[in-house]
């Protein structure tokens, strides 16, 4: 959430930069400034009423001491009127603060200067490509056929017990999934991240803190009786560890494995077949809380870390910088990783690494003390390291041979086997 002080100071720049996200903010920003002006006037009136009330209270005390009861009782009537006025002003203040917040939550984060204007993922900037695209036999198969052939995943069984988008992993397929989870966690821990195992349900305040609510409300599963939400990613509970916290030491580095849940309403067709888009999927997340002066250096390090993992898995991949139209509501700058799926002959997104700057921290009241002792907002960052479904799909598609599916060397100590025959 943007800060009103920053909006006032940089109004023109913010309006111009949000156009890079294809968001017309002028009307909302003018409205929030107008209501903040009313809030300031209301606060000034409240201060005056309080000052008058305190002054009269002192006078009444002196009159009672001197025995001038009649004058004292007359002044009491004045204090009653001031109390009623104070109540009105407090009500107005609460209403204005609510209206200001309702406007602010509609305004997305301002993109970084490096973000280019664009309307869709087709306009994302390819920074670099890594690795070689494998040449497969003419009869090579996509992963949904391979998982059936080698009895790795049962999509029909998942559909039977829950519905479409809830696969059942089995046998060596389940072991490969578990191997990937453990491998990703180990790589993150080696890089200095502390592992957590957070809850899979969060309250509304946690969803709001990381901008999952109200932005993604339609994509989240909602346990209405308890007003709890199934997490779309571990970013939500992990970042909320630090809600209302004063940070003393930077950086804070967290990693967590969780199942993730997304409704993905309206997702149908070949592009979302098999593991390409699921309602429940596994992901290992990395989250950092950083000093504002160092957050973009940290973003580069997080990007390098994900690159190293993909290098070890021997997967061809490319790094993209998202254009304004493809940036999330909360992100200032996002890099996407896409791996090449040889069986489908297309690129699949497997990770997003983002810097939210102070946008989440303002909602979370996540702060630190400057050297002058002043409270300032931290910067938050997160990334997938990594999301499993499309990594899984690419591994089995890219490594299919006449003998079977070859397991990447980095995973063999975790799977306990070199090939799925």
CA-to-CA distance for 335 and 327, rounded, in angstroms? 9
Phi-psi region of 131 (alpha: psi -120 to 50; beta: other; left: phi over 0): left
Check whether residue 286 and residue 337 sit in a common domain.
yes
Q: Residue 354: which CATH number?
A: 3.30.930.10
pLDDT in tens, 164-177: 999 999 999 999 99
| Global confidence as pTM | 0.92
Q: Are 95 and 127 within one domain? A: no
Q: What is the CATH number of the domain that holds 19?
A: 1.10.287
Query: Smallest Cα–Cα separation from 333: which of 26, 124, 24, 128?
Result: 124
Asked if the model's pLDDT at residue 4 lies above 80, the reply is yes
Give domain status of residue 270, yes or no: yes
Are residues 352 and 382 part of one domain?
yes
Domain endpoint, select from 69, 104, 139: 104
Residue 178 lies in a domain: yes
Q: Considering the domain boundaries, does residue 12 fall inside one?
A: yes
- Whether residue 114 is contained in a domain is answered as no
Task: Count Cα neighbours of 120 within 13 Å in the Cβ-side half-sphere.
Answer: 1
Domain match, 60 and 127 both: no
Bridge partners, residue 333, by sequence: 355
> Is residue 411 within 8 Å of residue 318, measured between CB atoms?
no
Tens digits of residue pLDDT in 265-313: 555 555 689 999 999 999 999 999 999 999 999 999 999 999 999 999 9
Strands 222-223, 201-203: pairing kind: unpaired
163 and 74 part of one domain: no
Residue 337 lies inside a defined structural domain of this protein = yes
One domain for residues 223 and 79: no
Q: Can the peptide bond before residue 4 be classed as cis, meaning omega within 30 degrees of 0?
A: no
Specify the pLDDT at position 218: 84
Is there a domain that residue 322 lies in? yes
In this structure, the answer to whether residues 80 and 206 fall within a common structural domain is no
Are 93 and 140 contained in the same domain? no
Residue 115 forms part of a structural domain: no
Please tell me the least confidently modeled range out of 44-48, 62-66, 96-100, 154-158. 62-66
Specify the pLDDT at position 73: 67
Question: In this structure, are 138 and 170 located in the same domain?
Answer: yes
Residues 203 and 341 in one domain: yes
Domain limits at 27? 4-104
Examine the pLDDT at 326 and tell me if it is beyond 60.
yes
- Last-in-domain residue among 55, 75, 104: 104
Lowest mean pLDDT segment, chosen from 79-83, 97-101, 176-180, 276-280: 79-83
Burial of 235 (0-12, 13-18, 19+ CB in 10 A): buried
* 140: nearest Cα among 315, 339, 341, 277: 341
CA distances from 132 to 53, 320, 339, 366 (A): 77, 17, 11, 43
Q: Answer for the pair 78, 54: CB distance below 8 angstroms, yes or no.
A: no
Distance, in Å, from the CA atom of 241 to the CA atom of 232, rounded to the nearest integer, reads: 16
Task: Give me the pLDDT at residue 391, please.
Answer: 98
Residue 96 in tokens: 């204005």
26-66 vs 69-104: helix crossing angle, rounded to 10:
160
The number of beta carbons lying within 10 Å of the beta carbon of residue 48 is: 13
Q: Establish if 111 belongs to a structural domain.
A: no
Total number of domains constituting the chain? 2
Q: State whether 160 and 271 are in the same domain.
A: yes
């Amino acid at each position: 959430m943007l800060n009103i002080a920053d909006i006032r100071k940089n109004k023109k720049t913010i309006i111009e930069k949000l156009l890079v996200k294809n968001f017309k903010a002028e009307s909302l920003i003018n409205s929030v400034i107008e209501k903040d002006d009313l809030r300031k006037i209301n606060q000034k009136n409240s201060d005056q009423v309080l000052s008058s009330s305190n002054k009269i209270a002192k006078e009444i005390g002196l009159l009672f001491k001197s025995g001038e009861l009649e004058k004292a009782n007359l002044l009491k009537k004045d204090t009653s009127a001031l109390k009623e006025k104070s109540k009105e002003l407090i009500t107005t203040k609460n209403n204005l603060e609510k209206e200001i917040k309702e406007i602010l939550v509609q305004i997305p984060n301002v993109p970084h200067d490096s973000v280019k204007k664009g309307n869709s993922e087709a306009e994302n900037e390819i920074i670099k490509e890594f690795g070689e695209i494998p040449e497969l036999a003419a009869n090579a198969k996509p992963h949904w056929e391979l998982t059936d052939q080698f009895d790795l995943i049962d999509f029909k069984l998942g559909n039977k017990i829950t519905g479409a988008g809830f696969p059942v992993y089995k046998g060596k397929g389940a072991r490969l999934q578990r191997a990937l989870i453990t491998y990703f966690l180990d790589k993150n821990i080696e890089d200095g991240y502390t592992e957590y195992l957070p809850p899979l349900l969060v309250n509304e305040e946690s969803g709001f803190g990381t901008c999952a609510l109200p932005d993604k409300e339609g994509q989240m599963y909602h346990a209405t009786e308890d007003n709890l939400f199934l997490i779309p990613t571990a970013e939500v509970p992990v970042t909320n560890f630090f809600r209302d916290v004063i940070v003393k030491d930077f950086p804070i580095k967290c990693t967590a494995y969780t199942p993730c849940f997304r409704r993905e309403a309206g997702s149908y067709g070949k592009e979302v077949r098999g593991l390409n888009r699921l309602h429940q999927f596994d992901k290992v997340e990395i989250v950092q809380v950083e000093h504002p002066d160092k957050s973009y250096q940290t973003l580069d390090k997080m990007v390098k870390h994900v690159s190293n993992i993909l290098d070890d898995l021997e997967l061809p991949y490319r790094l993209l910088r998202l254009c304004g139209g493809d940036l999330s509501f909360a992100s200032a700058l996002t890099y996407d990783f896409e791996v090449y799926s040889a069986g489908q002959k297309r690129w699949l997104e497997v990770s997003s690494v983002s810097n939210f700057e102070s946008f989440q921290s303002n909602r979370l009241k996540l702060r630190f003390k400057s050297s002058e002792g002043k409270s300032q907002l931290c910067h938050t960052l997160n990334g997938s390291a990594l999301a499993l479904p499309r990594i899984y799909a690419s591994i089995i598609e890219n490594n299919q041979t006449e003998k079977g599916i070859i397991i990447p060397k980095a995973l063999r100590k975790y799977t306990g086997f070199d090939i799925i025959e």
